[in-house]
Amino acid sequence: MIERISTTERSSKIVKHNGVVYLSGQVGEGENITVQTEEVLRRVDAALTEAGSSREHMLQAVIWLSDMSYFSEMNKVWNAWVPTGFAPARACGEAKLARAELMVEIIVTAAVAE
């Protein structure tokens, strides 16, 4: 069974299937990459909780930065947020994001907590 949460005509915020949680890309507001990354990760936490998962159950993260010069500062926030021993498989690249003011978008896949 496929469960879709917070679905619109364009996308679902969360999709659950066979014990796996797929989150849509999360973005955040803020004046710099640190603030935006913190906001994105708060949103990831909230979505994981809503889906019955958590940081400790992350399987994969895909991170898009609008400029790779943000990589180091984003990683400082990311590294403090990921629980020790629970780092997911991860990719990070540069992309033009949906709005000019966005600096980071994070897409997470996780297992449902047992």
CA angle 71, 73, 75 (to 5 degrees): 65
pLDDT tens, 45-103?
Answer: 999 999 999 999 999 999 999 999 999 999 999 999 999 999 999 999 999 999 999 99
pLDDT in tens, 19-44: 999 999 999 999 999 999 999 999 99
The architecture of the domain spanning 2-111 is: 2-Layer Sandwich (3.30)
Say what angle helices 71-81 and 33-50 make with each other, to 10 degrees: 40
